[in-house]
Amino acid sequence: MGNASVWKSDEEVAQLVKEIREELGMSQELFAEALGMPKGQAEVSRWERAKRRPGPKKMMTMARMIGKDVSIFQVRRPPLAGVVWGMTAATIPSYDMRQVIEALGTFTPEMLRRQAGEPGGAVLVRAFKKACADADWDLETRNAVDGYLNHLLENAAP
């Protein structure tokens, strides 16, 4: 299993957005329009100044505009050890958190963990488990995701 990918920092994303736009030779206004945001020049400017981050969909589109994929906005992290999403290695049950992150995307496991602790968290995790039921994963990944969700469910707020 490879290392997990996570999004680059705000500043790195800002720099990359600017580089992509300049590589395409577009003004901020034209670039915004090409991204489906007519009158979005101010938003592009905020991205380039790291005042805001573009969403994953927009990052994907920008990468495609220069013939790359979204991974240019990501960094490969070394295998996670020690603290993972607020849990220490000693308390991580049998599932592999790296697989969970690779299967669910970088932000979903953390988002679920946070919301599982709030009122209605158990319903949320149960729903998520159902939503994943037909995902086309190999057995190892399936076990990792189910292990993580079961762990969340055991600790979720009613």
Partner 1 sequence: MRRRSIERRAIGLVAEARLAVGEYGSRPLQESEFSKLLSVFNLVTCLEDLEGIPAILFPPIAGKYRAVLDHGLPAEVRRYVTLHELGHVLAGEADEPMRMVHTGPLPESEDVCDLFALLGIVPTVDIEEGGEWLESRIRQLVPLDNYGWQKYRIPRLAKRLPRVREMVKDLHGYY
- In which element (H, E) is residue 74 found? strand 74-76
Candidates 14-22, 69-77, 80-88, 116-124; binding stretch for partner 1 (CB under 8 A)? 116-124
Q: Does 131 bind partner 1 (CB under 8 A)?
A: yes
Choosing from 15, 115, 143, 150, the residue that interacts with partner 1 (CB under 8 A) is 115
Choosing from 66, 119, 140, 154, the residue that interacts with partner 1 (CB under 8 A) is 119
Each as own residue / partner, the long-range contacts of residues 100-103 (CB below 8 Å, 24 or more positions apart, any chain) are 100/144, 100/145, 100/147, 100/148, 101/4, 102/1, 102/2, 102/4, 102/5, 102/141, 103/135, 103/137, 103/141, 103/144, 103/145
Please work out, in degrees rounded to the nearest 5, the angle formed at the alpha carbon of residue 64 by the alpha carbons of 62 and 66. 80
Smallest separation, CB 19 to partner 1 (Å): 22
Q: Does 43 bind partner 1 (CB under 8 A)?
A: yes
Choosing from 123, 138, 154, 155, the residue that interacts with partner 1 (CB under 8 A) is 123
Rounded CA-CA distance 151/117 in Å is 12
Smallest separation, CB 153 to partner 1 (Å): 13
Binding site for partner 1 (CB under 8 A): 39-40, 42-43, 55-58, 103-105, 107-108, 110-111, 115, 118-120, 123-124, 126-128, 130-137
